[in-house]
Amino acid sequence: MRAVVQRTRGCSVRVDGRLTGATDQGLLVYLGVGRNDTDRDAQALRDKVLNLRIFPDEAGKMNLSVLDTRGGIMVVSQFTLYGDAREGRRPSYAQAADPQKARALYELALQLFTRSGLAVASGEFQAKMEVISTNVGPITILLDTEKRF
């Protein structure tokens, strides 16, 4: 699994003008599922995201996690995180999971984040979404459960 994690002041997602979710201060997690991913990847990614120390403590040092700050988490499916543009001009998505598998692991990840007790919101799987967020810092972290970066 891959994720782009951004520290936000707030985030909302709309599909066809309809609000599907919104969060206050916390994290925006764009989540991509690869063809070789399993339930273990969803658990590992959830644990990494929840414990990333990217929020400032009282001294202004990035020492706190979203669990420490009790922030919200917005999870948005993003198959394009598996786009490979090393050759040519159109990315290949051969490493992305098929939609059925991707949906199952995306929904599992949502359940796992919800079990954290934090406020969790989401986009809509396979929808064209409008994601509006205020990235604070800016702080943007790339994660890959296969540790490719």
Provide DSSP, 1-42: -EEEEEEEEEEEEEETTEEEEEESSEEEEEEE-BTT--HHHH
CA distance linking residue 101 with residue 33, whole number of Å: 8
* Cα 100 to Cα 95: distance, rounded to the nearest angstrom: 14
User: Any catalytic annotation for residue 125?
Assistant: no
Residue 134 catalytic? no
What are the b/e assignments for 15-46, b being 16+ CB within 10 Å?
A: eeeeebbebebbbbbbbbbbeebeeebbeebb
Q: Both ends of the chain: CA-CA distance in Å?
A: 12
Given the residues 8, 79, 113, 145, the one annotated as active site: 79
Among candidate residues 80, 111, 126, 140, the one labeled active-site is 80
6 is catalytic: no
Catalytic residue among 8, 20, 78, 145: 78
State the greatest distance between any 2 C-alpha atoms of the chain, in Å, as a whole number. Answer: 48
Indicate which residues carry an active-site annotation: 78-80
